Amino acid sequence: MTHVFLERRFTTPLTAEAVLAISLRAGDCFSRHRVTWQGSLVALDGRRMFCHFQAPDAESTRLALHQTLSDSTLQQAIAAYGAEVRGLWPGTVHDAADLDTTTGPAANVLVERDFAAPVTVEAIQQIEDAGATCLDNHRVRFVRTFFARNRQRMVCLYRAPDAESVRLAQRQAGMPMTRVWAFHAVLPPQPTGSNATT
């Protein structure tokens, strides 16, 4: 299966409850295309969202999302928020090697990075490693990277006091960044009796 990422913007702020309701209602359509919703990150102002899916390929995800619009309730719900698709792309997931999610809250700040030419995760990681003191000084901890297959888009997640701490730390470390925003995660409900954690 492939990791596929969807980026959306909204003219009317979106709530976490609406994301969960829409995603659960779209579940049957996702299942028909073998698409599994892994979760969504919704900006605190409700105007941006980053979604993570697993699917056979990006086209399966595109078809499933398109076919959800045949459900009039979903169509109305999505239209009510003025949803605009900003990108749908396949990629890879890279977790922090030493992150222990039991020692504190999960990620809460997202950094978007765009590159004019293809880059490698290793090259960007070297810049961040060189500026590790800057991140430590601002209490910023790397959690995960979503990296586009074309190697020109990267979305990184951090655990930090707030978005401004991440922005300052990244700037001081010389890290490229397009946009920084705080979010709350909306995850699929765990099956009853499941011991799985996120």
121-130 and 163-173 helices cross at what angle (nearest 10)?
A: 90
> Is the Cβ–Cβ distance between 138 and 165 less than 8 Å?
yes
Report how many domains make up the chain: 2
Instruction: Say yes or no: 53 and 106 in one domain.
Output: no
Residue 153: the pLDDT is: 98
Residue 74: the pLDDT is: 86
Structural domain ending residue among the three candidates 90, 125, 143: 90
Structural domain ending residue among the three candidates 41, 74, 90: 90
Residue 97: the pLDDT is: 82
Looking at the predicted structure, is the pLDDT value of residue 38 above 80?
Answer: yes
Averaged pLDDT score across all residues of the chain: 91
CA distance 179 to 46: 15
In 3D space, the residue among 87, 93, 135, 136 whose CA is nearest the CA of residue 114 turns out to be 87
Residue 197: the pLDDT is: 44
CA distance 60 to 46: 27
Instruction: Say yes or no: 125 and 167 in one domain.
Output: yes
Residue 192: the pLDDT is: 63
Q: Residue 169: helix, strand or coil by DSSP?
A: helix
Looking at the predicted structure, is the pLDDT value of residue 198 above 60?
Answer: no
Q: What domain range includes position 32?
A: 2-90
Looking at the predicted structure, is the pLDDT value of residue 193 above 70?
Answer: no
**CATH number of the domain that residue 60 is part of:** 3.30.70.100
Question: Any idea what DSSP says for residue 178?
Answer: S
